[in-house]
Amino acid sequence: MPLTLDDRDQALLNGDGGPAAALAMRVVSRTAEVMRAERLVDITGAHIDSCLYNGQASVDFPRRLTEGGAQVVVPSTLNVSSLDLIHPELFRGDDHTASQGRLLMELYEGMGCRPTFTCAPYQHDNRPNPGEHVAWAESNAIVFANSVLGARTHRYGDFLDISAAITGRAPLAGLHLDEHRRATVVFDVSAVPERLITLDAFYPLLGHHIGKRVGRSVPVVVGGPDQVPEHLLKALGAAGAAAGALAMFHFVGSTPEAPTLDAALLGAPAAETHVVTADDLRLARDQLTTSTSSRLGVVSLGTPHYSVAEFGRVVDILDDRKVHPHVRLYINTGRSVANEIALRGWVARLEASGVQIVTDTCTYITPIMEDVEGVAMTDSAKWAYYAPGNLGVDVAFGSVEECIESAVRGEIVRDDGVWVDA
């Protein structure tokens, strides 16, 4: 069945809503055709990734929309941008990038988007409910929306996000539909030693492992603990979406569409089953580490943006100790989380320890970090994947405990005991 547009869609396409809405509807409907959608569906919200400056095209599209009078018709959050407007002094890039980055932020705010500037809109208020259709871009947000919230979005890119927000419509295809949300690939973690499963780092490493293997299929993890906290599911999804094209996963006993393995599979047999071993996780850890040097230059946490709970862990582990004078420790987060932790008194304590909090953006997408002499350490599989290419640094992946101990001591310290003979 070819795509059928309803009367409202057709009216927008014909220009009844102005030239900007017509352009947005062309982008949505042409994407729908490629996705083999039979019709479009109303969305209740959008998350806009397009506000990061990636050259002139990033500016030309929203400018065309703005000149055509575009306004979003659903609540729309904004992803990270190129600048930290709360701490503008951190930006070390050129003036052109700064001015274009700021212009983009203004153009999207001008179309009615909320200036959230976070890659973790699910840590904001007004999260979508299970079953709601949304149009989210930003790979980690997409996988979180589908997997942890049970909302429905396909794996959208820049430009489609704002086009969906302006038209209020998305293609009814892909992960918007039940049949594509069914798990087909099982990852059984019951053979992984208990001492590894209890590490926070288990989740990003498992996500990296899954992302490398799963392609566009939906995986289900079985044999792990029940009620896994959200920030660990977030780390799993972000890692899988960076290493692969993961847009949705199930985790039996922890994600809403997987109360049981059978529920995640919708009663059908799995196409593939992978038994995950300690060696698989060790390999993932090695792939996310490009240097064995112990010389530490910088530590970056908060990719995706840290939640209040994750800051709480840092405050506990750091315990008011000072970051070593030769090391910078950055933590990326969104404005709303930064406000919340300031009210709790944590920002003052972290800053007194020498921590630099970064908002609105992230240390791996814009020039913020001072020249790094030594290895960059992170608890984020996503940061570890992209930073060598984006920043030209060597990276070492570690748990949040290892990252903070290393930042305090001024050299990379890793607790290899748990990995020996694992």
Binding site for another protein (CB under 8 A): 23, 26-27, 30-31, 34-35, 49-50, 52, 54-58, 60-61, 64, 137-139, 142, 154-161, 174, 211, 215-216, 241-245, 287, 290, 385-386, 388-390
Give whichever of 52 and 315 is closer to another protein, judged by the CB atom.
52
Contact call for residues 249 and 236 (beta carbons, < 8 A): yes
Nearer to another protein, 202 or 385 (CB): 385
Considering beta carbons, is residue 142 or 350 the nearer one to another protein? 142
CB of 251 to another protein, least distance (A): 21
CB 412 → another protein: shortest distance, Å?
Answer: 19
My answer on whether omega of the bond before 259 falls inside 30° of 0, hence cis, is no
Residue 78 C-beta: closest distance to another protein, Å: 13
Burial class from Cβ neighbours inside 10 Å (0-12, 13-18, 19+) for residue 419 reads middle
By C-beta, is 247 or 318 nearer to another protein? 247
Residue ranges of alpha helices (H) inside 14-71 are 19-34, 56-67
Q: In what order do the strands lie in the sheet with 76-78?
A: 76-78, 46-48, 135-136
Residue 177's closest CA among 45, 37, 42, 271? 37
What is the nearest approach in angstroms of another protein to the Cβ of residue 386?
Answer: 4
CB of 135 to another protein, least distance (A): 11
Q: Report residue 214: phi and psi, to 5°.
A: -95, -15
Q: Round to whole Å and give the CA distance between 202 and 183.
A: 21
Pick the closer one to another protein by CB: 60 or 370.
60
317 phi, psi to nearest 5 deg: -70, -45
Q: How far is the CB of 311 from another protein (least distance, A)?
A: 25
Question: In terms of CB distance, is 141 or 341 closer to another protein?
Answer: 141
